[in-house]
A and B are shown apart, each in its own frame.
Chain A
Amino acid sequence: QKEVEQNSGPLSVPEGAIASLNCTYSDRGSQSFFWYRQYSGKSPELIMSIYSNGDKEDGRFTAQLNKASQYVSLLIRDSQPSDSATYLCAVVVYGQNFVFGPGTRLSVLP
């Protein structure tokens, strides 16, 4: 069974700090990895996608993938109160659907 696990949180960080969000997955056939942000009562919106081992940076966001450890993370630098949301990790096995984790709730304190 394909599973994606995340710490449910809440994860609280002070404004300006680095927030680190983690995700593990069980299916070694997973090929594509995504981070979505979901504000309360809203739909998920894509933040980052990553397909190869290593780091991928986009502005204040860095996604890190380690396929050997079946681990993907999202770092948010210089966290802002507007980053307060639930962050969903999603994994795709080749040719199959997106499997989402339960999400981690992040709270950035002013």
Chain B
Amino acid sequence: ETGVTQSPTHLIKTRGQQVTLRCSSQSGHNTVSWYQQALGQGPQFIFQYYREEENGRGNFPPRFSGLQFPNYSSELNVNALELDDSALYLCASSLPGTSGANVLTFGAGSRLTVL
């Protein structure tokens, strides 16, 4: 059984650029969530994908967008990067269901630095 994998692990961009982060979910998990974790803070929910559709979104602007593919892998795209977008971006997969009993399994994260 493979865990959640993310790429790239580190990247540096400049303001105004665009970035794409990728995530492969844990085997058997068809729900993927993305979180932004700024230094010294807890993860903040960006959005969740289930069956290739967005299934919930946090308080992030539209320049944060995503996709989920038929194999359950996912992408997070951020346009018009701002300095405050510098953070650790975490992908988490889980089993489907709304009971809340399905825990999140996190990938190692992608650390984005915006200069």
Binding site for B on A (CB under 8 A): 4, 31-32, 34, 42-46, 49, 51, 88, 90, 92-103
Show 14 residue pairs from A and B whose CB-CB distance is below 8 angstroms, ordered by the A residue: A32-B100, A34-B104, A43-B106, A43-B109, A44-B43, A49-B101, A90-B104, A93-B100, A96-B100, A98-B104, A100-B35, A100-B43, A100-B44, A103-B42
Residue of B nearest to A43 (CB): B106
Docked CA distance A108–B24 (Å): 35
For the residues of A in contact with B, the DSSP-based class is strand
For the residues of B in contact with A, the DSSP-based class is loop
Specify which chain A residues have a CB less than 8 angstroms from the CB of B98 in the assembled complex: 94-95
Contact with A along B23-39 (1 / 0, CB 8 A): 00000000001010000
